[in-house]
Structure formats: C-alpha cells, structure tokens
Amino acid sequence: MKKISFITIIFLFIIVCLSIVFAQLPGFRKKRPSYHEYANVLINNFSEKNNIAPVVYNHWLHRAKYTCRLCHVDLKFKMKAGGTGIREDSNKNGQYCGACHNGKEAFAPGEMSGGKTKKNCDRCHSHGKKVKFEKNFYRFTKNFPRARFGNGIDWLKAEKQGLVKLKDNLEGKSHDKKRQEEPADEVLIKPKIVEMPQVIFSHKKHAIWNGCELCHPSPFSEEKGKNKFTMEEIFAGKFCGKCHGKVSFSTLDCQRCHVKRMP
C-alpha cells in the first residue's frame, strides 16, 4: 500500500511539472506573465472603436488598497473581464471607475494644475504606451512576503502583517452587508485521491477580501455537502478557479490549499 501511495504521489508531481513546461510551449497556454503583469485586465469594449488606447487595469495596486467585495459587489464590476461594459458617461456619473476616480478618492480624468487642466487619460488608457506610473510594482512590494507563483506576493500574509490596509466601504456607494451566521473558520475538504493532502479552507481569510457575497449563493451553495467540483473544473475557471489562477494565487501552487496530510 505504501509503495502504491509513493508511486501515485510521484506521478502527480510529474503531471504538475509537465503542465508547467507545456504552458510555455507554442500551441499551449500563453507564457506566464511577469509579476507586474499578473492579473492585469485589458478593458477594450469601446476604446479602440473610438481611437483610444485600451485600459490596462492592474489588480495588484487596487487589491493593495481595497477589498474585492467593494468593487465586485458595491460597485457592481462583473467577475468576467470585459463583462461590465464600462462607458465614459458612466464614469462621469460616478459609476464603476468613476466612483473612486473623482479627484477625491483617487485621481480624476482631468485635474487643475497651474491654472491649466492636466489630463490623466494615459494613466488608465495605457496599452501600447510607455507610461511612467506613480506606483511601481517592484518598489511598492519590495518588503512584502513572497510567494512562488502568481505575482510573487503572499497577499494574505501582507494583509495580516499590516502592509496593506483594505478599505471595504465607499461613502454613498456601499450598502449594509448581509448579516449571516458566522461559519466555522476552517473547513476540511477531502480530495477524491486518498494520497493527496486535504484542503484547509479558511472562511476568515476569504471573508476579509471577499465578504460572503462573492462566493454565496454562487458559485458555492451554503448548504453543507452540496458543493461537488473537480480540479478540472477549477482549472477551467469554475468554483475556486473564478479567482485562483486569474487574480488570486495560482492553481499551480498546490501546497497553498492541500496542506493537511491524511491521518
């Protein structure tokens, strides 16, 4: 039995290694992005149609200041890239990006400087341009705890250590959170493959960033035992894969989830 378990673990390790190698080859997945590019989203619903460079939205800087819940629940940004259909008029009316980029919470599209209006268009519509940004990823995260994949940052530890302070409320935009019964902090998820370590899922850590609304009632049912999913579905961007591998840490980092050995 021990021999079979050892062979199975070696086999799984080889599969993971091969997936990383194949991801770099032509005809397979695109080359892994640089740390500062990981989780960037290109917003181009209307930009090029109006002869404007597309917007490059960097998740790393926004996640260092705000919770995911604030943007995806209160400000109603959809979880799918390009799914929101943001228009300039919407921003001007204080919706979506305009809820913060108003010259008070964050920089506005245009600001007065020396009696003249300074346009900040390139700070968002930066695709294909050489733009010098106020915040540089590598300098900003220089003292942050490291991770092996994604953008190389362990954001959970960074938040715990107080290196990032997350804002979860925006005046005039945020609503009262739904009061829900507080679940157990840690939940054990047993994988189908017996030799694989169990997953320790932390409600507390996810609630800090996501609240409850980003996970319940979709894609996860609140009813115990109702959630059945596979790694293939996660790799395809479903369930945990809605965030992990796109914005949160990569699904290649198996030990970040599978941490508890079977007894």
How do the domains of the chain map onto residue ranges? Answer: 1-31, 35-140, 176-263
In the chain the beta strands, taken as DSSP E runs, fall at 41-43, 55-57, 110-113, 116-119, 186-189, 198-202, 258-260
User: Letter for the amino acid at 27?
Assistant: G
pLDDT more than 70, % of the chain: 86
When pLDDT is averaged across residues 122-151 and rounded to a whole number, the result is 95
Same fold: 35-140 with 176-263: yes
Q: Which fold has domain 176-263?
A: Cytochrome C3 (3.90.10)
Please tell me the predicted confidence (pLDDT) of residue 246: 93
Please tell me the predicted confidence (pLDDT) of residue 158: 97
User: Letter for the amino acid at 24?
Assistant: Q
Please tell me the predicted confidence (pLDDT) of residue 31: 72
Residue with tokens 């198996």: 254
- What is the tens place of the pLDDT at every residue in 61-98? 999 999 999 999 999 999 998 999 999 999 999 999 99
- The pair phi, psi for residue 248, each rounded to 5°, is -75, 180
pLDDT over threshold 50, residue 24: no
Cβ-based neighbours of 189, under 8 Å, separated by 6 or more: 198, 199, 200, 201
pLDDT over threshold 90, residue 121: yes
When pLDDT is averaged across residues 225-235 and rounded to a whole number, the result is 93
Please tell me the predicted confidence (pLDDT) of residue 17: 59
> 249 — alpha (psi -120 to 50), left (phi > 0) or beta?
beta
Q: How would residue 200 be classed by pLDDT, with cut points 50, 70 and 90?
A: very high
Which two tokens mark 165?
């302070």
When pLDDT is averaged across residues 179-192 and rounded to a whole number, the result is 80
Beta bridge partners of 43: 55
When pLDDT is averaged across residues 24-29 and rounded to a whole number, the result is 47
pLDDT more than 90, % of the chain: 72
pLDDT over threshold 70, residue 15: no
When pLDDT is averaged across residues 99-118 and rounded to a whole number, the result is 89
Please tell me the predicted confidence (pLDDT) of residue 185: 85
Please tell me the predicted confidence (pLDDT) of residue 27: 47
Which two tokens mark 139?
């300098």
Q: Which residue has the higher pLDDT, 53 or 29?
A: 53
Please tell me the predicted confidence (pLDDT) of residue 22: 54
Beta bridge partners of 116: 113
When pLDDT is averaged across residues 198-211 and rounded to a whole number, the result is 93
The domain defined by 35-140 carries CATH number 3.90.10.10 = yes
